Structure 1
């Protein structure tokens, strides 16, 4: 697996110290430039070429009443992505990112009209997962297949010359699966992790906490130990694909910009499975979902933004792209003290 180039990071840091500004005056923007330099082929990286890939799948646990929306919405939103009408379509257009949707397990039928909204890949592993409260979400071969689809998506990004990869997700009830995974992999109790998801009531949240508790007890009794064990038992097909996507990106040496609660759960699985994936992760924002801060802390990541978002789709990460592009532009285009003929600090 690729590792960040510390010599380039040092060269970038030296370049920052010579730009026409007080050292450190651009704060986090300076750190971002150095971070990307270590993960590129230059101490002064060019403009990023971002790709957003939204993985979609359904969840059997929706039968437990853990979501404010019916499962049919997953397929309907996939059609909306392809049609160009979702939030992530607007943001991808705004920031110049390519957008594709990968159906790894949407249960409901849906029709799409070919537009310039997003490219759709239909590769369903199965029609949604099992109900994680009472049975494994998927079999080991199904989990492996979904993971491999994610790896392939990252490899495709590499072939297309993408220099920043963002994973998004769509799947009604997937905050339940993500919460269960985060609890399993951090040891934090469900009360601290389970949130309101798509906007359920406080009473429904209490029920959702119990569903997660029951799933953890069942999976632990069935012998879940490793990250992939837990993914198979309480995860989701789109979460497995995301974990593979992040692993494939790290293997290819492409920086990864994380989105919200579900994608961070997937990243936690990927890092627990292969710790060096962590070297390639950058957190875009902290969402309004209750357990997201805990998941980021487990990955030792500091989010760039806190906007109270909880939409998913890759939306929070997309919003961060202009900030990162600005940090790299400043690093790349500002004059140095010597080139501008400006005296340095005594």
Structure 2
């Protein structure tokens, strides 16, 4: 039987270049370690790219959209039509991520995995038509096995397009009313954590709404039981089409040698799925920010992720990761362009 593509090994980190990049940092005209995380980032990117002086000028941003059947349980203050309406906003340039992509000179791709309300395809959107959204996971699995595999492949295809375009950094974003409910359910199942620790207001639920959302997730976890403890089964039973696509994209990027900058809560849960499916993806994941959703911190801890920003964001769309791109670029510029002590004829401290 042919091995599933997502189980194939990810690219190894170039340990030789990693060591050379660490050595270069020691020679730059500054006290060792004085640029903190910026030094670590540059060294990590050097090892991932196999280049002593890495670069992240070529950025690919993919927004994956999908609707969620669990919205029928009243877990979101927004109607499901918003998912389709936002697709048009993305390609028309009016969404936050559209603005950020323009200012970063990043390539923006919008992929609709499965929309419940759109009748006609939108120009500029890749419509995969896997399903009209997921099923309500309180009454059965969110997806069939085949739908889950198609969504994973949809993410992989985006990563391959990014590779063909010469991308040095991949950012995945998401859009889907109800997807913080799916993300929280997945995180509860995979981390074996209580619902109260991982459920939050999403797009603006009040205290009563968050409590109701938690009870909906508890019903789903009780229904699917031990099946939801394994990453692929959890994704099928509790996930979203766009969450599966994100996981597929992260895995394919790591297999093709493209660094990934992970966005907020939902994207981090997708990263949790990806690591569960194939642990060799882990070194390729950088984390853009810590979002306001309460469960995000626990997911980041499980992934050993060190977020670059903490701005109280809760938008999604890949926006928090996009905001961190200038930091990565500046980390690379400092690493590559600063003079060494020898070049600048500056005395280093004695060995």
> Shorter-chain-normalised TM-score: which range?
over 0.9
Determine the structure 2 residue equivalent to 1:218. Answer: 223
Determine the structure 1 residue equivalent to 2:271. Answer: 267
Aligned ranges 1:88-103 → 2 under 5 Å: 88-103=97-112
Determine the structure 2 residue equivalent to 1:4. Answer: 13
Given that residues 56 and 169 in structure 2 are in contact (C-alpha distance below 8 angstroms), is that contact kept between their aligned partners in structure 1? no
C-alpha distance in 1 between matches for 2:140 and 2:57 = 43
- C-alpha offsets along residues 1-51 of structure 1, whole Å, 9 cap, x if unaligned? 211111111100110111111111111100000010010121111343110
Aligned ranges 1:36-75 → 2 under 5 Å: 36-75=45-84
Following TM superposition, by how much is the alpha carbon of 1:112 offset from its aligned partner in structure 2, in angstroms? 7.5
C-alpha distance in 2 between matches for 1:224 and 1:313 = 26
Determine the structure 2 residue equivalent to 1:174. Answer: 179
Structure 2 CA distance for partners of 1:9 and 1:209, relative to 1, 3 Å = same
Asked whether 1:124 is paired with 2:115, we answer no
Cα RMSD of the aligned pairs, angstroms, is: 1.2
Structure 2 CA distance for partners of 1:40 and 1:303, relative to 1, 3 Å = same
Determine the structure 2 residue equivalent to 1:187. Answer: 192
C-alpha distance in 2 between matches for 1:305 and 1:42 = 26
Determine the structure 1 residue equivalent to 2:256. Answer: 252
C-alpha distance in 2 between matches for 1:248 and 1:313 = 20
C-alpha distance in 2 between matches for 1:14 and 1:56 = 43
Determine the structure 1 residue equivalent to 2:23. Answer: 14
Given that residues 63 and 131 in structure 1 are in contact (C-alpha distance below 8 angstroms), is that contact kept between their aligned partners in structure 2? yes
Q: Secondary structure at the match of 2:48?
A: coil
Total equivalences in the alignment: 341
- C-alpha offsets along residues 273-314 of structure 1, whole Å, 9 cap, x if unaligned? 101111110111000001000011111111111000000000
| Unaligned segments of structure 1, at least 5 residues | none
Determine the structure 1 residue equivalent to 2:5. Answer: none
Asked whether 1:320 is paired with 2:329, we answer no
Name the TM-score, length of structure 1 as normaliser.
Answer: 0.96
Name the TM-score, length of structure 2 as normaliser.
Answer: 0.95
Determine the structure 2 residue equivalent to 1:160. Answer: 165
Determine the structure 1 residue equivalent to 2:310. Answer: 306
Determine the structure 1 residue equivalent to 2:211. Answer: 206
Structure 2 CA distance for partners of 1:20 and 1:220, relative to 1, 3 Å = same
Determine the structure 1 residue equivalent to 2:92. Answer: 83
Determine the structure 1 residue equivalent to 2:143. Answer: 138
Q: 1:107 aligns with which of 103, 116, 140?
A: 116
C-alpha distance in 2 between matches for 1:157 and 1:304 = 23
Given that residues 79 and 111 in structure 1 are in contact (C-alpha distance below 8 angstroms), is that contact kept between their aligned partners in structure 2? no
